[in-house]
Amino acid sequence: MDELTTLEAQLRFHDERYYRQAEPEITDTQYDELRDRYHALCNERGLAPADRYGMTPGDDRTPGFTTVRHRLPMLSLEKAADGEDGSAEGKLAAWVERTRKLADLASTAPLALLVEPKIDGMSVSLTYRDGRLLQAVSRGDGISGDLITDQVRASGAVPLEVAVPAGGTFEVRGELYLPHARFKALNKSLVAAGTKPLINPRNGCAGLMKRKDASALEGLGISAFVYHVAWAEGLELPSSQQAVIAWLATLGFATNPHVTRHATAGDAAAACRAFGDERGGLTYDIDGMVIKIDDRRLHDRLGTTEHHPRWGLAWKFAPERKPTELRAITVQVGKSGKLTPVAELAPVVLAQTTVTRASLHNFAELERKDVRLGDIVLVEKAGEIIPQVVAVVLERRQPSAVAYARPIVCPECQTPVLTEDIFIFCPNPTCGAQVRERLRHFASRGAMDVQGLGEAAIDQLCTTRTLTSPAQLFALTAEDIAGLERKGDKSAHNLIAALASAKNRGLARVLIGLCLHHVGEKLAEDLAATCGSMAALLDLASRHQAGDPAPLAQLDAIDGVADTTARSVLDQLASPAVRQVIDDLTAAGVNMTAERKAVRNVAGVAGKTFVLTGTLPTLSRDQAEALITTAGGTCSGAVSKKTAYLVAGDEAGSKLAKAQSLGVKIIDEAALRALLDLGE
């Protein structure tokens, strides 16, 4: 595969893992290296910016959330990477000189810089009106983000009311984060429940804030630091960034106590390096420092580029990297059959732990870095948790170093592998490694949520009871469980009770547990709501295989489902292997129907399609959608000619303009209540 194509595929994959799944496989530094190499190659080939991948900031928007357009874009910051060569100091000095010229300042004119820790969390925009939190929005793609007001309110991370003059409205921006102590406590409880722990505090926080059930966030300890006021109306803000932070603190917001002001670039650089050396004592994660022009009056004069404001710079800390010998490469097989290379290393101490294994991500990345057996490689920890091989020390390569050949058969079951894009798969659904991973996933909290059935128990059951199918879990007896390591009579009976309870999770959870490609939480819920039962879904799959176009059209009609996704889901459901698993689950008594809410078919609502945008005065999006669907209407995430009503609240986004252009009737919450016959 061409290197440019490979790099683009890797960037797409890692963007999906980082922004939408909140489960990154590589560090920010490694991602930046991939991105820099991609753009360097684009420059060499003269590729126009419009034809390049990822010219806009990353996107953390998640299906199922209301999308809100930011009044002012939430842009990334230009970066200065730290290193032993002093390159960050040079970039900072050049940035200051460039800023002086853009602001038309003399070389002797004072230009104070504010330096603050760069919190490794989830960016959030908070709008307050008359002192009350009106809405909270994630960064999204920088232009629009997900409405997470309910989640932020439930988390307790920010004040819901602040003392500002009546009529005042402002938007403050900050970072939601999970403190170390809370992260460790949460992971301890997840492991005790047999659930996969969170990868790191940053991604744990991002995943928690995208939970649909906002009440689940209460008491988890999510916190926030705010650092910027994007705009204000009816309020007079201080003229310096330092004074704005002090003003925010007086209102009750948490602001970082380690903000310092410096007169020169050299002083600011020294402060960044000094703080980097001491960051291990913090109770939260940071991945660098942010340097801003303190005089806010210069911010408007300097303006922004398409990607970043000109008044700020991110100083990125260099991760701890250590050399060690690559002794061997083993291959892991995941639940989807994906083969992943893993480095077996001579022991090396990183972040106070001894590392002997590290991820190599995928075979395309292994080949791009030219990693060979016997090489001395540099290893670092992603988020100081997951060890990664990031580079080869080429000057120490020995003639005996051997390139690693891509596997042509699965190391577990010896089935010939398939290649898809940059990944290699084992296509055998009965492969032992896949069976173990799929069973772990089936029992996980996000799927069937079988309390007490963790990875260790699954591994032992696969060995001692030769489990091959999820249905066999429901045939286990207390005696089967009690014979496992660390499982006594009490825990055995508790697990049997948990399995019995899991039978009634419903169709959506079963669909998630089946590990179908493309089927995550949102699509599983949509399929369950559309079809109502597994039998109806299987009927669609059979008709699709027979050439009937109607099933494909029915799934295509689901908001956000592309034709390729619909086709893939139907093809998988039609496969004999998946059908057998479903038949076995049915025989085991697993409920595979969707809970149907009572519908009262309100005239004027029943059979109509509604789209919601903006923030409604009293109803959350989930509440409004529930009221519409129980009245016989349907809700969509996109405006089209089929849309009967656009329900518009405050800060309505681009959907409003599209509805106006199509002549769609636009109503507010009061009119919706009247249609639903709810009264005031």
CATH architecture of the domain 432-502 equals Orthogonal Bundle (1.10)
What is the token pair recorded at 549?
Answer: 């176009």
pLDDT at 398 over 70: yes
pLDDT at 12 over 90: no
pLDDT at 83 over 60: no
Least confident of 238-252, 458-472, 519-533, 551-565: 551-565
What does the domain layout of the chain look like in residue ranges?
Answer: 3-55, 69-316, 322-403, 432-502, 507-587, 609-676
pLDDT score for 382? 58
Q: What is the mean pLDDT of the chain?
A: 85
Residue 161's pLDDT band (boundaries 50, 70, 90)? very high
Chain centroid to Cα 658, Å, comes to 28
Read off the pLDDT of residues 400-420 as tens digits, 9 standing for 90 and up. Answer: 999 999 999 999 899 998 887
The percentage of residues in the chain with a pLDDT greater than 70, rounded to a whole number, is 91
Instruction: Please give the average per-residue pLDDT across 394-402, as a whole number.
Output: 93
Taking the C-alpha atoms of residue 317 and residue 339, their distance in angstroms, rounded to an integer, is: 32
pLDDT score for 54? 62
What is the token pair recorded at 181?
Answer: 């102590």
Taking the C-alpha atoms of residue 656 and residue 653, their distance in angstroms, rounded to an integer, is: 6
Which homologous superfamily is 609-676 in?
A: BRCT domain (3.40.50.10190)
Taking the C-alpha atoms of residue 476 and residue 456, their distance in angstroms, rounded to an integer, is: 16
CB-based burial label for 576 (10 Å; 0-12, 13-18, 19+)? exposed
pLDDT score for 85? 47
- β-pair type (286-293, 260-262): unpaired
Residue 377's pLDDT band (boundaries 50, 70, 90)? very high
Fold of 69-316: D-amino Acid Aminotransferase; Chain A, domain 1 (3.30.470)
pLDDT score for 1? 56
pLDDT at 600 over 80: no
Instruction: Please give the average per-residue pLDDT across 529-556, as a whole number.
Output: 89
pLDDT score for 57? 47
Are residues 418 and 338 in contact, defined by beta-carbon separation less than 8 angstroms?
A: no
From first CA to last CA, the distance across the chain in angstroms is 62
Least confident of 36-45, 258-267, 439-448: 36-45
Read off the pLDDT of residues 621-673 as tens digits, 9 standing for 90 and up. Answer: 777 887 888 888 888 777 888 889 999 987 777 788 888 888 899 999 889 98
CB-based burial label for 579 (10 Å; 0-12, 13-18, 19+)? middle
Are residues 225 and 178 in contact, defined by beta-carbon separation less than 8 angstroms?
A: no
Strand-pairing partners, residue 135, are: 127
Number of helices (H), then strands (E), in the chain: 23, 24
Instruction: Please give the average per-residue pLDDT across 238-250, as a whole number.
Output: 96
- β-pair type (286-293, 312-316): antiparallel
Read off the pLDDT of residues 265-314 as tens digits, 9 standing for 90 and up. Answer: 999 999 999 998 888 789 998 989 999 999 999 998 999 987 889 999 99
The percentage of residues in the chain with a pLDDT greater than 90, rounded to a whole number, is 40
pLDDT score for 24? 63
Least confident of 472-481, 517-526, 538-547: 517-526
Residue 352's pLDDT band (boundaries 50, 70, 90)? low
Read off the pLDDT of residues 39-52 as tens digits, 9 standing for 90 and up. Answer: 778 878 777 766 67
Q: Is 118 a residue of the active site?
A: yes
Is-same-fold flag (432-502; 507-587)?
yes
Helical H runs in 390-502? Answer: 432-443, 455-464, 478-482, 489-502
pLDDT at 256 over 50: yes
pLDDT at 96 over 70: yes
pLDDT score for 617? 80
pLDDT score for 55? 47
Give the total residue count for the chain: 680
Least confident of 49-63, 315-329, 627-641: 49-63
CATH architecture of the domain 507-587 equals Orthogonal Bundle (1.10)
Residue 84's pLDDT band (boundaries 50, 70, 90)? very low
- β-pair type (132-138, 144-146): unpaired
What is the token pair recorded at 334?
Answer: 């995941």
Residue 328's pLDDT band (boundaries 50, 70, 90)? very high
The single-letter DSSP state of residue 288 is E
Identify the residue with better confidence: 564 or 559.
564
Residue 25's pLDDT band (boundaries 50, 70, 90)? low
Q: Which of 91, 118, 292, 608 is catalytic?
A: 118
Other Cβ atoms less than 10 A from the Cβ of 499: the count is 21
CB-based burial label for 658 (10 Å; 0-12, 13-18, 19+)? middle
Identify the residue with better confidence: 480 or 194.
480
CA dihedral of 421, 425, 429, 434, whole degrees rounded to 10: -120
Fold of 322-403: OB fold (Dihydrolipoamide Acetyltransferase, E2P) (2.40.50)
Residue 376's pLDDT band (boundaries 50, 70, 90)? very high
pLDDT score for 680? 52
Task: Tell me the CATH class for 3-55.
Answer: mainly alpha
Residue type, 322: K
